């Protein structure tokens, strides 16, 4: 299993350009997430998805869009890049909850990240 893969690893954009960050997981996980990590800060959730066709906003969704047409893929779209979007972006996935009455905890599996610079 490759786990969670992200492309590209690095990208430099000009203000106003658009791009899509790709994320794919091969673990058949239901849940997928996009985070951004700014220097010296923890991760902030941008969007998440609980299954194909279902997405929802996280803490910092402005300036981003997502879609989830398949279980495996969860691309993140930046329509009009701004310097404030300079960050490292991580995609993650996690399996559905355990059975009723059993342990139920969240281990998220992270991709290696995409370093994006907007100039």
Report the interface residues with other proteins, using CB under 8 A.
Answer: 4, 31, 33, 40-43, 45, 48, 50, 56, 58, 90, 92, 94, 97, 103-113
Residues 6+ apart with CB under 8 A from 56: 47, 48, 49, 50
- To other proteins, the closest distance from the beta carbon of 15 in angstroms equals 27
Distance from C-alpha of 116 to C-alpha of 57, rounded to nearest angstrom: 21
- To other proteins, the closest distance from the beta carbon of 70 in angstroms equals 19
Using the minimum distance from each CB to other proteins, give the nearer residue, 74 or 90.
90
Using the minimum distance from each CB to other proteins, give the nearer residue, 14 or 40.
40
Nearest alpha carbon to residue 5 among 119, 116, 110, 84: 110
């Amino acid at each position: 299993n490759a786990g969670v893969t992200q492309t590209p690893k690095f990208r430099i954009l000009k203000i106003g350009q658009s791009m899509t960050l790709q994320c794919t997981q091969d673990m058949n996980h239901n849940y997928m997430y996009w985070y951004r990590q700014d220097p010296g800060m923890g991760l902030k959730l941008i969007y998440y998805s609980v299954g194909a066709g279902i997405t929802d906003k996280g803490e910092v969704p402005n300036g981003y869009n997502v879609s989830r047409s398949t279980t495996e893929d969860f691309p993140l779209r930046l329509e009009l890049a701004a310097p404030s979007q300079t960050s490292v972006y991580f995609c993650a996935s996690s399996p559905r909850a355990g059975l009723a009455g059993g342990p139920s905890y969240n281990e998220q599996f992270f991709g290696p990240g995409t370093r994006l610079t907007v100039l």
